[in-house]
Amino acid sequence: MTDALQPTAARPATLEDVARVAGVSRSTVSRVVNGVRNVDPAIQETVRQAVAATGYVPNGAARALVTRRADTVALIVSGAGETGGDGMLFTDPFFGRVVGGVLCGLRPPGMHPVLMLADDDASRAQVIAYLRRGSADGALLVSTHGGDPLPALLAEAGLPAVLFGRPAAALPLSYVDLANHEGARLAADHLAARGCRRVVTVTGPADLPAGQDRQAGFREAMARHGRPWSPEAAGDFTRRGGAAAMTRLLAEHPDLDGVFAANDLMAQGVLAVLREHGRRVPEDVAVIGFDDSSAATAAHPRLTTVRQPVEEMATRMTTLLLDRIRHPGAAPTSVLFEPRLIIRDSA
Amino acid sequence: MTDALQPTAARPATLEDVARVAGVSRSTVSRVVNGVRNVDPAIQETVRQAVAATGYVPNGAARALVTRRADTVALIVSGAGETGGDGMLFTDPFFGRVVGGVLCGLRPPGMHPVLMLADDDASRAQVIAYLRRGSADGALLVSTHGGDPLPALLAEAGLPAVLFGRPAAALPLSYVDLANHEGARLAADHLAARGCRRVVTVTGPADLPAGQDRQAGFREAMARHGRPWSPEAAGDFTRRGGAAAMTRLLAEHPDLDGVFAANDLMAQGVLAVLREHGRRVPEDVAVIGFDDSSAATAAHPRLTTVRQPVEEMATRMTTLLLDRIRHPGAAPTSVLFEPRLIIRDSA
DNA sequence: CCACACGGAGGGAGCGCTCTCCGGCACGCC
DNA sequence: GGCGTGCCGGAGAGCGCTCCCTCCGTGTGG
**Cβ–Cβ gap A113/B117 under 8 Å:** no
Give the chain A residue whose CA is nearest to the CA of B312: A87
What is the 3-state secondary structure of B127-182?
Answer: HHHHHHCCCCCEEEEEECCCCCCHHHHHHHCCCCEEEECCCCCCCCCEEEEECHHH
- B334 and chain A: CB distance < 8 Å anywhere? no
- Cα B131 to Cα B129: distance, rounded to the nearest angstrom: 5
**Residue A87 confidence class, pLDDT cut points 50, 70, 90:** very low
Please, are residues A321 and A140 in contact by the beta-carbon 8 Å criterion?
yes
**Amino acid, res. B167:** P
Domain ranges of chain B: 3-67, 72-178+311-338, 180-307
3-state DSSP call for residue B78?
Answer: strand
The answer, yes or no, to whether the previous bond of A282 is cis (omega within 30 of 0) is: yes
Which of the nucleotides lies closest to B42 (Cα–C1')? C8
Task: Identify which of A86, A113, A129 has the shortest CB distance to residue B104.
Answer: A86
**In the prediction, which pLDDT does B88 show?**
62
What is the phi/psi pair of residue A294, to 5°? -60, -25
In the Cβ-directed half-sphere of B89, how many Cα atoms lie within 13 Å?
A: 25
Q: How far apart are CA A266 and CA A289, in angstroms?
A: 8
CATH 1.10.260.40 fits A3-67, yes or no: yes
- Report CA(A253)–C1'(C29) in Å, whole number: 95
Give CA–CA dist A237/A79, Å, rounded. 13
* List of residues 6+ apart from A132 with CB closer than 8 A: A157, A159, B12, B57
Q: Which nucleotide is nearest to A12 (CA to C1')?
A: C16
What is A72-178+311-338's CATH number? 3.40.50.2300
Q: Is B273 on the interface with A (CB under 8 A)?
A: no
Instruction: Please answer whether residues B76 and B150 qualify as being in contact, where contact means their C-beta atoms are separated by less than 8 angstroms.
Output: yes
H helix runs in chain B, sequence order: 15-22, 26-34, 41-54, 60-67, 86-91, 93-106, 121-132, 150-156, 180-193, 209-224, 239-252, 264-276, 294-298, 310-326
Considering the domain A180-307 in this protein, what is its CATH number? 3.40.50.2300
Residue B242 has a pLDDT of 95
The Cα–Cα gap between A271 and A284 comes to 12
Is the separation of the CB atoms in B23 and B53 below 8 Å?
no
**In chain A, which among 309-328 make CB contacts under 8 A with chain B?**
310-311
pLDDT tens digits, A18-63: 999 999 999 999 999 998 877 888 889 999 999 999 999 999 999 9
Residue B278 CA, nucleotide C2 C1', distance (Å): 104
What is the average per-residue pLDDT within A177-200?
Answer: 95
Provide mean pLDDT across the span A142-169: 92
* Per-residue model confidence (pLDDT) at position A244: 96
For nucleotide D16, give the residue with the nearest CA to its C1'. B62
Task: State residue B329's pLDDT score.
Answer: 82
Name the closest residue (CA) to the C1' of nucleotide C18: A66
Q: Do A298 and B86 touch (CB under 8 A)?
A: no
Check the CA dihedral B40-B41-B43-B48 and report its sign.
positive
CA A16 – CA A222 distance, rounded (Å): 71
Q: Do domains A3-67 and A180-307 have the same CATH topology?
A: no
pTM of the model: 0.92
CB contact under 8 A, A134 and B60: yes
Q: CB under 8 Å, gap of 24 or more: what pairs does B85-89 form? A: B85/A100, B85/A311, B86/A99, B86/A100, B86/A101, B86/A103, B86/A104, B86/A311, B86/B117, B87/A96, B87/A97, B87/A100, B87/A101, B87/A310, B87/A311, B88/A100, B88/B238, B89/A96, B89/A100, B89/B117, B89/B144
Interface of B with A in 40-99 (CB under 8 A): 57-62, 64-65, 68, 70, 72, 75, 85-93, 95-97, 99
E strands of chain A, at which residues? 72-78, 112-118, 139-143, 161-164, 174-178, 199-203, 232-234, 258-261, 286-291, 304-307, 334-337, 340-342
Distance CA A108, CA B52 (A): 39
The one-digit pLDDT tens for each residue of chain B (347 residues) are: 433 334 345 688 999 999 999 999 899 999 999 887 778 888 889 999 999 999 999 999 999 999 999 999 999 998 755 444 444 667 788 898 999 999 999 999 999 999 999 988 999 999 999 999 999 999 999 998 888 999 999 999 999 999 999 998 899 999 999 999 999 999 999 999 999 999 999 999 888 999 999 999 999 999 999 988 889 999 999 999 999 999 999 999 999 999 999 999 999 999 999 999 999 999 999 999 999 998 999 898 999 999 999 999 999 999 999 999 999 888 999 999 999 999 999 99
Question: From CA B325, how far away is CA B311, in angstroms rounded?
Answer: 21
Asked if B138 and B273 count as a contact pair (C-beta separation under 8 A), the reply is no
Cα–Cα dist A97/A94, whole Å: 5
3-state secondary structure of B340: strand
Question: What is the pLDDT, as a whole number, of residue A182?
Answer: 96
CA distance B18 to A130: 19
Per-residue model confidence as pLDDT tens digits over B178-207:
999 999 999 999 999 999 999 999 999 888
Check CB contact of B116 with chain A, cutoff 8 Å: yes
Mutating which of A133, A264, A268, A281 best tests the B interface, going by the most B Cβ atoms within 10 A? A133
Burial of A217 (0-12, 13-18, 19+ CB in 10 A): buried
Residues in chain A: 347
Q: Tell me: the pLDDT tens digits for A170-182? A: 999 999 999 999 9
Quick one: which of A294, A297, A289, A281 has its CA closest to A339? Answer: A289
pLDDT score recorded for residue A88: 62
Is B133 in contact with A60 (CB distance < 8 Å)? yes
Contact at 8 Å (CB) between A146 and A207? yes
pLDDT, one tens digit per residue, over B155-164 is 999 999 999 9
Q: How far, in whole angstroms, is CA A108 from its chain's centroid?
A: 18
For A239, the closest of B57, B133, B298 (CB atoms) is B298
Mean pLDDT taken over chain B: 90
Beta-sheet pairing, A286-291 with A304-307: parallel
* pLDDT averaged over every residue in chain A: 91
pLDDT confidence bin for A10, thresholds 50/70/90: low
Q: Calculate the CA dihedral of residues A170, A176, A182, A184 and round it to 10 degrees.
A: -90
- Could you report the per-residue pLDDT of A218-258, keeping only the tens digit for each? 999 999 999 888 899 999 999 999 999 999 999 999 999 99
Which of A87, A103, A272 lies nearest to residue B115, judging by beta carbons? A103
Name residue A290's beta-bridge partners. A306
| Residue A78 CB neighbour total at 10 angstroms | 23
Contact yes or no for A153/A165 (Cβ under 8 A)? no
CB contact under 8 Å between B58 and A99, yes or no, is no
Note the pLDDT of residue A80: 54
A3 pLDDT band, cuts 50/70/90, is very low
Buried b (16+ CB within 10 A) or exposed e, B17-33: bbbbbbebeeebbbbbb
What radius of gyration, in Å, describes the C-alpha atoms of chain B?
A: 26
The pLDDT of residue A197 is: 92
CA dist., res. B17 & res. A253, Å (int): 67
DSSP state of B92: S
